[in-house]
């Protein structure tokens, strides 16, 4: 997977109410016009509830 820019990731996730499930993150990124590589990374995250943006960024950085 491509390296993901953590600042852009948080912009793509603007408006997410945490805690949020993976599918909520993907939906928000789609609404915010995220590029396909970001959406691919979000879709590949473990299917669990994320407590906040830092947890999402940390998990995404490992992809």
Residue 62: HSE in the Cβ half-sphere, 13 Å Cα cutoff: 8
Over its length of 63 residues, how does the chain's per-residue pLDDT go in tens digits? 457 899 999 999 999 999 999 999 999 999 999 999 999 999 999 999 999 999 999 999 988
Q: Using the 8-state DSSP alphabet, how is residue 49 labeled?
A: E
Whole-structure pTM value? 0.92
CB 18 within 8 A of CB 26: no
Which token pair is 39?
């959406």
């Amino acid at each position: 997977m491509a390296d993901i820019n953590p600042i852009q990731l948080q912009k793509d996730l603007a408006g997410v109410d945490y805690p949020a499930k993976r599918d909520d993150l993907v939906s928000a990124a789609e609404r915010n016009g995220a590029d396909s590589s970001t959406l691919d990374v979000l879709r590949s995250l473990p299917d669990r509830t994320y407590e906040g943006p830092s947890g999402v960024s940390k998990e995404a950085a490992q992809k």
